[in-house]
Amino acid sequence: MYFSIQLQIRTNYSKKSLNQSRTAFSFALNLQHQKRLCPLNGQWLLSIPKSKIIIMAFDIEMIKKVYAQMPAKVDAARKTLGRPLTLAEKILFAHLHSDMKLENFARGKSYVDFAPDRVAMQDATAQMALLQFMQAGRPKVAVPSTVHCDHLITAKNGAEKDLAFANTESKEVYDFLASVSNKYGIGFWKPGAGIIHQVVLENYAFPGGMMIGTDSHTVNAGGLGMIAIGVGGADACDVMAGLPWELKWPKLIGVKLTGKLSGWTAPKDVILKVAGILTVKGGTGAIVEYFGEGASAMSCTGKGTICNMGAEIGATTSTFGYDASMSRYLSATGRADVAAAADAIKQYLNADPEVYADPSKYFDELIEINLSELEPHLNGPFTPDLATPVSKMKEEAAKNNWPLKVEWGLIGSCTNSSYEDLSRAASIAEQAIAKGLVTKAEFGINPGSEQVRFTADRDGLLKTFTDLNATIFTNACGPCIGMWDRVGAEKKEKNTIVHSFNRNFAKRADGNPNTYAFVASPEMVAAIAIAGDLSFNPITDTLTNSKGEQVKLDAPHGNELPPKGFAVDDPGYQAPAADGKNVTVTVAPDSKRLQLLAPFAEWEKTDLKGLKLLIKAKGKCTTDHISMAGPWLKFRGHLDNISNNMLIGAVNFFNEKTDNIKNELTGEYGPVPATQRAYKAAHIGSIVVGDENYGEGSSREHAAMEPRFLGVRVVLTKSFARIHETNLKKQGMLALTFADKSDYDKILEDDTIDVIGLTAFAPGKPLTLVLHHKDGSKEEISVNHTYNQQQIEWFKAGAALNIIRKQVANI
């Protein structure tokens, strides 16, 4: 006889009688191994002889330490500043690195060192992060760290076949990540365990904590009251090596939520609305803090959705104050001890009351949204900030010639794949079946984690979807990041899809530049997939069923948490070896997927002269344009091979084409990577010129490492996205901006360019570019930078990692 009970347990008990589950492990316990199983205070008291079970969440001692120190640190900061503090400020001050003097840091100006509590990495970015960490010289990570295998699984035939294929196709990479994790004390979540940010929310996120992660949507953990920030692998390497982590002290944007969500409106619509207000760069350099009665009435996973898509407005991160919904979620996911510890210092896990009473005094920008009046939105196409209320979509689609027929509806991604999301979407699917409707579009579901999938399957939600002919894909990112083998995408036909993901850049989901992708809540995706019509408004419109009757969908409903509790047989977690010194990590010299790194060369101690213009990018140039995902993900651990995708998606200003630029050595036009390799072979440096918000989107540091590896020396833009600018600096690149943005127009196709002033490179001191035009004329322009002294040392050393290696050796 077996009982399934949810406990937070760390044990080496026999796998034969114990099946690990998650942070809170769920165990099926054979009663022959028990002496006592009895109720105590409404819970089960379990006694197993000789098992030495310790009931706790992951890293509970670290969490208790953070909470023990937080009040004194926050009180000291409040005294120093002489005013009340926002929640974001409290968490930031509580995580100042010990080498930082407490002061009133200037928002958007002061560079500050922090000591994050943990690091999270997904499999695509973890490869390069860990290849760098292997050079750092440490025997073990300095803070709790995890790797999550969610990016390398292609959605095609359904979960069972797709996961089996991934385990074969990417076995070399998975084995590498597992062995590195085992050696250096890193928790490893196997393929199929789930999407990193859902797994982190279920297992590791905690109110008031600070986490960095090698994925821009690390910010999802703000749904549990964290300051969680997406970074490049070099930043993760710093923290795992025990070194300070640097961040410019953020500006603060407050979003006051009044009223309450109801009907068809979901948490997703809050961030879709905010994206429309702030645009893709409106949150750059800022933390967005949500508060108000509307925030308190929202579920924890709903808060996570809002924070997740904060990456799409360029925000450093987003967060909510600790409340009852977070406590409920912590307890439901087996972390009642964390909830109890948070309850004890609840006032420190929210802004001071004076802040919420008069927010305009404490935030640099304030937005107010009445949730009772908020309408469901569809954002897109081709950018996540083009916000359209569902009631206006028919009009906007006609005006812009957007295809109305919807080919696919997709639910999932790290943004919307929780139990609540699936239950609300399933309520629409259930109605459709009962009312004699069928889906006009194809329908796909990616559960967020094995725990969510298992629980949803137990509760009949997945059967509801499959009864409506939906395909259940693996618990992984899949189409959201371009890992979707979509039939017919190669034809590049104009078509529309709707999804609950976060990004909808051209080619993002299926590689087809003519796929018009629109972002919506899971329940709205379900409704539109059933209708097959982008202009369908479920609030007002009816559909024709199999009997020819006009039927209307009722508003969705769902469960914040599963009524029967979460359950799972095998969560897919692998704990690291207690002592990894005997673990061997091997990389085959002829591997096409993995390549050990060689240090980048130091700066030559001279100005950079004779640089060729590689490309002048026009318009939006995201990290997807600079280093595409999709099929290229397989090379994320091989810098040479993946560099063959460098800037192939960027639009050349001079001919309006992608991956077609002039080779100044031959005068011929050809691919960007091949041209840059020709310059590198000739020992000629180059410069990339970009437009506004260059490098927005993913945190992928490959977009910085590839140009560095191939010999690009400078990236000059009108403005940068935060993470990409930092990644360039970390890799020893020059990240510069036009002092006068109109000087962008002065850059000509055949220019040769000098960078003057590097021998006196200093914080706040502009540099000069000399443009040598083909006709023999030349002109000078002034360019700015945001390098502080430490970052200048990164440039001089050739990369931050070259300094890290020396620092770790001296620890």
Let me know: does 752 contact 772? Beta carbons within 8 Å.
Answer: yes
Q: Are 678 and 698 in contact (CB under 8 A)?
A: no
Buried b (16+ CB within 10 A) or exposed e, 274-294: bbbebbbbbbbbbbbbbbbeb
Residues 6 or more apart whose Cβ sits within 8 Å of residue 52: 11
User: How far apart (Å, rounded) are the C-alpha atoms in residues 295 and 650?
Assistant: 39
Catalytic residue among 59, 117, 123, 215: 215
Neighbours of 64 (CB within 10 A): 14
Annotated active-site residue in 503, 708, 724, 785: 503
- At 370, list the tokens: 């009445």
Alpha carbon separation from 367 to 86, 273, 278, 752 (Å, rounded)? 15, 11, 10, 46
Q: CB of 339 within 8 A of CB of 303?
A: no
Bridge partner list, 484? 155
Tell me: cis bond preceding 381? Omega within 30 of 0 counts.
yes
Selection from 701, 752, 755, 756 nearest residue 731 by Cα: 701
What φ, ψ does residue 526 adopt, rounded to 5°?
A: -60, -45
Q: Angle, nearest 10°, between helix axes 419-434 and 450-458?
A: 30
Active site residue 503: yes
The Cβ-side half-sphere exposure at 398, using a 13 Å CA radius, reads 4
Distance separating alpha carbons of residues 553 and 263, to the nearest angstrom: 11
CA angle (566, 571, 575) in 5-degree steps = 130
Place of tokens 């041209």: 675
Instruction: Please state, in angstroms and rounded to a whole number, the distance separating the CA atoms of residues 472 and 466.
Output: 7
Write the DSSP string, 175-212: HHHHHHHHHHT-EEE-TTSB-HHHHHHHHT--TT-EEE
Backbone φ and ψ of 704, nearest 5°: -100, -35
> What is the length of the chain?
811
Q: Which of 700, 702, 708, 713 is catalytic?
A: 700
Residue 554 among the catalytic residues? no
Are 425 and 526 in contact, with CB atoms under 8 Å apart? yes
> Could you tell me the strand order of the sheet in which 251-258 lies?
317-320, 286-291, 251-258, 365-370
Smallest Cα–Cα separation from 299: which of 324, 277, 276? 324
Catalytic residue among 59, 117, 123, 150: 150
Going by DSSP bridges, is the β-strand pair 210-213/227-230 parallel, antiparallel, or unpaired? parallel
- Letter for the amino acid at 105? F
Helices marked H in 490-583 — which ranges?
522-531
- 3-state DSSP assignment of residue 453: helix
d(CA 797, CA 803): 7
Alpha helices (H) in 86-223, listed in sequence order: 87-94, 123-133, 159-169, 171-184, 196-203
Q: Which of 698, 708, 743, 805 is catalytic?
A: 698
Of the candidates 577, 717, 654, the residue with the CA atom closest to the CA atom of residue 184: 577
3 state SS of 66: helix
Query: For residue 357, which amino acid is it?
Result: A
The identity of residue 726, as a single letter, is: T
* Whether 234 contacts 731, CB under 8 Å: yes
Catalytic: 700? Answer: yes
β-pair partners for 411 = 445
Alpha-carbon distance of 412 to 427, in angstroms, equals 16
Reply yes or no on whether 151 is catalytic: yes
Q: How many Cα atoms sit within 13 Å of 677 on the Cβ side?
A: 12
For the chain, how long is the longest CA-to-CA vector? 91
Give the active site residues: 150-151, 215, 503, 698, 700
